Amino acid sequence: MDLITLEQTAYYKISLWRDHVLQPAARLLNSLGVTPNSLGVFRIITGLAFIFLAPGYPLFAFILLALGVGSDAIDGVLARLTSQSSSSGRLMDTIADRLTFVLYLIGLISASLISIQLGLIYIILIILAAGISSLRNLSYHHHTGRPTYTTIITSFPSSACIHSSYLLFLALLVFKVNFLPLILPYLLIIIILEIIANSLLALVYQSKFRRGTKSIKSSLPSP
């Protein structure tokens, strides 16, 4: 059993527990005619609203942010409940997640809670992390012929950092102390390590795929 299979097994067990907890909410949304993709669009809208509300109305901004994060947790459950899970749906979910976080960072910059430089570094690394993760999955798919989904190393560190930063914004509202400039650089290090790990694993799978192709060709009879 290779590393990515072990990751998927662990993630699958976590997903079963999450689906069990969130299924009642997903059933309610389904009865209201809400689709998984519409939740992704809603998440992007909350990110856009956050930009304008964060400078003057941080509490309302956080409420919208919390609703967006909640929709992120439910959309996958809703997709599986309604048999709408697909590659395009997973892509939409990933794009909505990362775009919402980029909008959140822009909101923090507009509210002068973090510097423009720190925000831009975060935006670049989040986009790079998503791209490298996709490259790793593509290499694995070429090597094994099996599709890959979310796993622990592919996205968990950056996702954990994203949600940790949301909690830091909540801490700002509750304690009136801005921990964001202090903690965000350490979260950046975690994302950089994720990028390095996924880059190395993508190279490993690509190397295995090439060696496997060469061994198949060498075993063929000469014309």
d(CA 28, CA 77): 12
Domain locations along the chain:
22-112, 116-206
Q: Active site residue: 72, 75, 93, 97, which one?
A: 97
Position 221 scores a pLDDT of: 42
CATH code for residues 22-112: 1.20.120.1760
Position 107 scores a pLDDT of: 92
Burial of 217 from C-beta contacts in 10 A (0-12 / 13-18 / 19+): exposed
The structure tokens listed for 177 are 């102390």
Half-sphere exposure of 35 (CA within 13 A, CB side): 8
Contacts of 67 (CB under 8 A, 6+ apart): 42, 46
pLDDT tens digit string along 127-172?
Answer: 888 777 777 766 666 666 665 555 556 667 777 788 888 888 988 8
Give the chain's radius of gyration (CA, Å): 20
Q: Please report how the helices 152-175 and 58-81 are oriented relative to each other, as an axis angle in degrees rounded to 10.
A: 150
Residue 72: active-site member: no
Position 145 scores a pLDDT of: 63
Residues of the chain with pLDDT under 50: 214-223
The structure tokens listed for 181 are 């400039």
Q: Is the pTM of this model over 0.75?
A: yes
Q: Among 96, 112, 114, which residue's Cα sits nearest to residue 45? A: 96
DSSP-derived 3-state class of residue 85: coil
Contacts of 46 (CB under 8 A, 6+ apart): 64, 65, 67, 68, 71, 100
Position 88 scores a pLDDT of: 66
User: Given CA atoms 191, 196, 197, 199 in this order, what sign does their dihedral have?
Assistant: positive
